[in-house]
Amino acid sequence: DTEVTQTPKHLVMGMTNKKSLKCEQHMGHRAMYWYKQKAKKPPELMFVYSYEKLSINESVPSRFSPECPNSSLLNLHLHALQPEDSALYLCASSQGGIGNTIYFGEGSWLTVV
């Protein structure tokens, strides 16, 4: 079983809603990631926090906003999303900073209506 826990597993939201995805790991990892995955495509990196410092993929729209309250927790705040944002959102972590094996959570299925 994965040690990266994501909630909720499924989320349906309207285009005017504000919601958040949550992720937690207790492996002592110091890098945490958000990936987006569409059907039959590989995961695409959205954000990474390494030692609680954010690195941004500049192609990610501002309607996605990450937050790292501490080294074990990672949130993804969602606001004014579009239907094309419907996807599987994966949280992941790696030991140390960016540079070691990435371990994924089970994902949060997001549907924007």
Partner 1 sequence: EDQVTQSPEALRLQEGESSSLNCSYTVSGLRGLFWYRQDPGKGPEFLFTLYSAGEEKEKERLKATLTKKESFLHITAPKPEDSATYLCAVQPFYGQNFVFGPGTRLSVLP
Give the interface with partner 1 as residue ranges (CB under 8 A).
2, 4, 40-43, 45, 48, 88, 90, 92, 97-99, 101-107, 109
Distance in Å, CB of 70 to partner 1, minimum: 22
DSSP secondary structure string, the chain? --SEEEE-SEEEE-TT-EEEEEEEE-S--SEEEEEEE-TTS--EEEEEEETTEEEE-TTS-TTEEEEEEETTEEEEEEES--GGG-EEEEEEEESSSTTS-EEE---EEEEE-
3 vs 82, beta carbon nearer partner 1: 3
78 vs 87, beta carbon nearer partner 1: 87
3 vs 73, beta carbon nearer partner 1: 3
Distance in Å, CB of 49 to partner 1, minimum: 13
Distance in Å, CB of 13 to partner 1, minimum: 19
Distance in Å, CB of 2 to partner 1, minimum: 6
C-alpha span between 91 and 24 (Å, rounded): 9
Token readout for 112 is: 């924007």
8 vs 99, beta carbon nearer partner 1: 99
